[in-house]
């Protein structure tokens, strides 16, 4: 039986770094963050300080882990009437 690294099963903040704003967006204090789980990656951009964007990315990762911990998919097909 193969052991599974529990950390690979949870979404984690991989990186937060200063970046240029998205096209057409004002401001110059933007950061890009990457959240990952195994080979799955989620990338986002957000204005704010490094600390604020890092806290945001950590909250997103925590929320994803909470949703995944409930089991099943977050996709809910509509029931036929």
Domain extent, residue 20, equals: 6-69
Residue 1 is assigned to a structural domain of this protein? no
pTM: 0.74
Residue 74 is assigned to a structural domain of this protein? no
Contact 34/15 with Cβ under 8 angstroms? Answer: yes
DSSP symbol at 10:
S
Q: Convert the pLDDT of each residue in 23-75 to its tens digit.
A: 999 999 999 999 999 889 999 999 999 999 999 999 999 999 998 877 655 55
- What total number of domains does the chain contain? 1
Which residue's structure tokens are 């509509």?
A: 78
pLDDT at position 1 over 50: no
Residue 39 is assigned to a structural domain of this protein? yes
Alpha carbon distance 8, 71 (integer Å): 16
Residue 49 is assigned to a structural domain of this protein? yes
Residues in contact with 27: Cβ distance below 8 Å, sequence separation at least 6, in sequence order:
21, 47
């Amino acid at each position: 039986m193969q052991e599974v690294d529990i950390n690979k099963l949870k979404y984690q903040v991989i990186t937060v770094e200063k970046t240029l704003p998205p096209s057409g967006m004002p401001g110059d204090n933007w950061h890009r963050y990457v959240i990952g789980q195994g080979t799955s990656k989620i990338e986002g951009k957000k204005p704010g300080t490094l600390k604020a964007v890092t806290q945001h990315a950590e909250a997103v990762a925590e929320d994803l882990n909470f949703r995944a911990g409930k089991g099943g998919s977050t996709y809910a097909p509509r029931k036929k009437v």
